[in-house]
Chains A and B, each alone.
Chain A
Amino acid sequence: MIDSILLIDDENLFHLVFEDACSLLDITLNLKTLSSADEAAKYFKNLVETKQKKPDCIFVDLNIIGSTFNGIELIRKINFDYGDGVVIGIISSSNDKQEQTNAMKAGAQFWIIKSDEIEPRLSEFKKDFDGFVKRKLKFKVYA
């Protein structure tokens, strides 16, 4: 079980899908959801500055409507600007190879394709989670 997860996605319906999937698959009991990248950046910066406990894993949507920057830029900020190597990756309906390369360079560790088959992918991710924490696994796409 992952202690805590942060999901950043502008689609509120997907928040519900993700929450139920995480509960059914025993992935986490502590899920926090945010709807914009700007909000997430502020939230994370505050966590770092006040030395509070950070989430163990962060899932970021690729295109977050209503934000000034996209998911990949948010990942770069969290890794390079706020100085934190958390387990972080993209969850998106896109399977674009170029975007996946950009995400990898920004420090993302995984890319999960959103669809109605989300449960098997999350289940596989749960098994790989330890490998991501220890930085033993390379960038992986769950398609």
Chain B
Amino acid sequence: MIKLNEETKKVLLALSDDKGIYLEGNILKIIDTSDDPTFDAYIKQSIEKDNEKRTKRLEITKQVQEQNIELIKSKGEKDEVNKQLQKALEKAEQAKESAVNDLELMQKKAQFELIGTIVKVALWIVCGIGVVTTGMFMICLSLGIENQIIESAWSNMFGILLTNSFSIIGTIMGVKYASDRLDKKS
């Protein structure tokens, strides 16, 4: 036990009276207050206040500890949820990509088919005109009717047909090839 001198005791008592400042900490438990009831009362009061603070601090520390435990737990849960979300996101991305791929393929297929149809129709028209013109030319020839207009129309048409035949055939072949590829892809 430690003994404080009278001057120190006076200062401490004055501090508590004037400014409400009290000693704190474990030192209070080893101060000798025998033969001084006033100082003894002061020490008891200081201990009471110190205990109040300690109790409050203890409660808060415990709460912080609990919250920490909760936070760590939640963080763990959050991390778990994040992981699952990440997985779901990745799956969605993959699904979208495959859907987009399918759509593109379908569009391309449709385009090629359209081109194919157009070319086929054009071919039929050209062939049809050719057949009709040839027919008419033949009738004129057989009947001996004036056929200069039909002759020039027929020779022009066959000339265009022959000169462009390769590009028409090439277009048809290309369309056919592209369609086959699309079919294989889909």
Give A contacts to B, CB under 8 Å. Answer: 11, 13-14, 16-17, 20-21, 23-24, 26, 29, 116
Contacts and interface: CB of A to CB of B under 8 A. Distances in A.
Nearest to A93: B69
B57 interface: yes
Contacts of B96: none
28 contacts: A11-B65, A13-B61, A13-B64, A13-B65, A13-B68, A14-B65, A16-B57, A16-B61, A17-B58, A17-B61, A17-B62, A17-B65, A20-B55, A20-B57, A20-B58, A20-B61, A21-B58, A23-B26, A23-B54, A24-B51, A24-B54, A24-B55, A24-B58, A29-B26, A29-B29, A29-B30, A116-B62, A116-B66
A116 B61 CA distance: 10
The majority secondary structure among interface residues of chain B is helix
Interface of B: 26, 29-30, 51, 54-55, 57-58, 61-62, 64-66, 68
A21 B57 CA distance: 10
A63 B68 CA distance: 18
Contacts of A13: 61, 64-65, 68
